[in-house]
Amino acid sequence: MSAFSPKLGRLKSKPDPRTLHLRDYLLTPATTLPALPPSADWTAAVKVPWGMLSNDQVGDCVIAAAAHMLMQWRWNAGAPFIPTDLQVLADYSAVTGYIPNDPSTDNGTDPLTALKRWKNVGFCTGHKLGGFVATQATRQKEIQYAIALMEGSYIALSLPIAAQNMTAWDIPPGQQLVGDWEPGSWGGHMVEAPKYDEQGVWVVTWGALKFVSWAFLAAYCDESFALISMDMLNGTQRSPLGLDIKTLGADLQALAKN
């Protein structure tokens, strides 16, 4: 059996002026949101391994991260769901044109393209996304809101070579982002973050949980999103921490028209 060799496959999204931003919603005068807890963790309900979802073989990390979010939402809603490699590869092919066993077609994809297909068509056999808003890793509270209230943050990283052999992704104080620390010098990667505390976040990557410090996230995350999905609900139309998802969705639609 060959040794695990991580695959990277996240491309940068082309800017789309129609993309909503969580900061606009948080700054809306009529908005009332629950207070942020000092930490949040949605991993305990997941009772099975996260799974590699073929990301050790192809650059499908953007789709694999989406499938991990679906998995987490359904387990927390009391309706366990385990995505399969075949489902993720089928969605990767649908989004990118990837042909199994043809490495020339394994070119990765960008999160915005994936999100639009997830919303309009669905991933993992029909699980559709209700909507999404962009967040900023440099605004720590936005990532915390995404995790605490919407059960996860969908995070794109431009990883440095220095990250290759780290058990936890962190950056020394004062470290210059040059040489092996240059953003993107290793490549682009997509993860989902189901947990945070005052030190940082934990992300699901290559089938396991990995700690990422807030400093590392601010330096290397150049795209992130808060996602709205009916898959996270447990029959109450509210997320487990009380956020009214239907109202939020309607508010976001209203914002898009302003």
- pLDDT tens readout for residues 215-235: 999 999 999 999 988 776 555
Cα–Cα distance for residue pair 166/147, rounded to 1 Å:
24
pTM given for the model: 0.89
Identify whether 108 is part of a domain: yes
Rg (CA), the chain: 17
Identify whether 95 is part of a domain: yes
pLDDT of res. 98: 98
Identify whether 223 is part of a domain: yes
Identify whether 31 is part of a domain: no
Q: Name the band, by pLDDT with cuts 50, 70 and 90, for residue 28.
A: low
Q: Helix or strand or coil: residue 228?
A: strand
Cα–Cα distance for residue pair 77/79, rounded to 1 Å:
6
Residue 10 has pLDDT above 60, yes or no: yes
Identify whether 61 is part of a domain: yes
**Going by C-beta distance under 8 Å and a sequence separation of 6 or more, which residues neighbour residue 124?**
67, 70, 81, 83, 87, 88, 91
Note the pLDDT tens digit of each residue in 33-43.
667 899 999 99
Residue 3 has pLDDT above 70, yes or no: no
Identify whether 4 is part of a domain: no
Cα–Cα distance for residue pair 137/22, rounded to 1 Å:
12
- Answer for the pair 204, 65: CB distance below 8 angstroms, yes or no: yes
DSSP classification of residue 102:
-
- Per the prediction, the chain carries an average pLDDT of 87
Please classify residue 228 by burial: count the beta carbons closer than 10 Å to its beta carbon, then call 0-12 exposed, 13-18 middle and 19+ buried.
Answer: buried
Cα–Cα distance for residue pair 225/106, rounded to 1 Å:
24
What is the span of the domain harbouring residue 213? 38-257
Cα–Cα distance for residue pair 155/66, rounded to 1 Å:
10
Note the pLDDT tens digit of each residue in 55-109.
999 999 999 999 999 999 999 989 999 999 999 999 999 999 999 999 999 999 9
CATH number for the domain harbouring residue 101: 3.90.70.10
Identify whether 195 is part of a domain: yes
CB atoms within 10 A of CB 167: 7
CB atoms within 10 A of CB 183: 16
pLDDT of res. 236: 53
Note the pLDDT tens digit of each residue in 100-141.
999 999 999 999 999 999 999 999 988 998 888 899 888 898
Domain count, the chain: 1
Identify whether 3 is part of a domain: no
